[in-house]
Amino acid sequence: MPDARRAARNASDRAFRRPARARAGAGRSAARAQPVPHPAAPGRAALVELGRGARGVNAVREVTAAPQPVRLKFEIGARTLLAVRRSLVRVPLTLAEARSGLVPALPALDRSADGYLVTSLPADRIAALAAGAGGMLAFVRQRYTRYHLDFAGDYDGWFASLSSNARQGLRRKAKRIAAASGGALDVRRFRTAEELAAFHPIARAISATTYQERLLDSGLPEGPEFVDTMLRRAAADQVRAWLLYIAGSPAAYLYCPIEGDTVIYAHVGHDPKSNDWSPGAVLQLEAMQDLFGERRFAAFDFTEGEGQHKRQFATGGVACVDLLLLRPTLANRAVMTALAAFDASVAAAKRVVQGAGLAGFAKRLRRGS
């Protein structure tokens, strides 16, 4: 089967091999059991310019060195078939860090940890990070574009930069929702602590119905720790949130914390009953208009992962990967091999489904809708 053979060959894209120079130096560095931590401090990560070591540090940001349990999922779309737990130190890169093109220096690794999970690593920095990781196994878990929108100019100029089909589609969707809501869009905006306290239970009710929460466990959190953080952010004017109502009923929400001059696309969802209305896209457009109007932000960070609306609204993006760096144990090698084979088979099956014109049906099946 040609597709199966191509999928097997493409598996090497997932299980990354170190370059020959790095392999040749492995024997000389065998005594170094762990990646060298950055001298800034234990438990921190820094960005280091290639070839300059610590002299090239441009930012130091707190990254907990405590390993956390991470489920390495064997999944098809939003459905998880199997998961293997590993204890990993997370090293998430911000949008600014991803755009800088610098390589993160890894914090010291606890003996109990299996390795690192580096997210939003620029794709062209895989080899550099893997070569300096002390002989650890490198595995690309997923590839995506880290999309962003720069708030240069004004809303009208940005909207005009979208394709004519996109503009017409968004106007049509907004007009349809407005007609069902008495002639005008019913968008409610939340910014203060008092307003966010009212926003949260309504948004939580929407989130509970979404596939993100049912299948991905990534809905709007409801715990007291999240609520306390949300209210503190609101008191410091570091959060924006929106609700869209259709015919008097809440249909979609968007929650965005603010880091410096960057707005973060943190939590979003809509009631699946309103799928045909495309409420998420309409609400996103309203949010963009509000944020452009404030004239205080530099960028909107669409965070990790792909999405049609991200591609549609973004003004740029960085090709990124989520990279696993695991200790070279037999168990970890087995997990990496299994993940690579599974991902390759899923990719081959996806090509078959798309070729048969069943992509829409498969998407609904994955989401359970």
pLDDT digits (tens, 9 = 90+) for 177-225: 999 999 999 999 999 999 999 999 999 999 999 877 776 677 899 999 9
369/362 Cα distance (integer angstroms): 10
Residue where the block lists tokens 């002390």: 134
Tens of pLDDT, residue by residue over 223-244, are 999 999 999 999 999 999 999 9
320/51 Cα distance (integer angstroms): 21
Averaged pLDDT score across all residues of the chain: 83
Tens of pLDDT, residue by residue over 308-342, are 889 999 999 999 999 999 999 999 999 999 999 99
CA-closest candidate to residue 145, choices 365, 316, 344, 290: 316
70/83 Cα distance (integer angstroms): 9
In this prediction, residue 359 has a pLDDT band, given cuts at 50, 70 and 90, of: low
Residues of the chain with CATH 3.40.630.30: 152-297
In this prediction, residue 134 has a pLDDT band, given cuts at 50, 70 and 90, of: confident
DSSP code per residue over 17-85 = PPPHHHHHTTTTTTT--SPPPPTT-TTEEEEE-TTTGGGG---EEE---S-EEEEEEEEETTEEEEEEE
List helix spans (H) across the chain.
2-10, 20-24, 95-100, 126-131, 155-161, 164-180, 193-207, 211-216, 224-235, 279-294, 308-313, 330-355, 359-367
CB 335 within 8 A of CB 84: yes
List C-alpha distances in Å: 368 to 238, 338, 351, 356: 35, 26, 21, 21
pLDDT value at residue 42: 35
280/74 Cα distance (integer angstroms): 28
Report which DSSP code applies to 108: P
77/48 Cα distance (integer angstroms): 35
The mean pLDDT value for 253-269 works out to 97
In this prediction, residue 100 has a pLDDT band, given cuts at 50, 70 and 90, of: very high
- Length of the chain as a residue count: 369
pLDDT value at residue 349: 86
Q: 152-297 falls under which CATH superfamily?
A: Gcn5-related N-acetyltransferase (GNAT) (3.40.630.30)
pLDDT value at residue 130: 94
Looking at per-residue pLDDT, the higher value among 47 and 244 belongs to 244
CA-closest candidate to residue 149, choices 280, 59, 284: 284
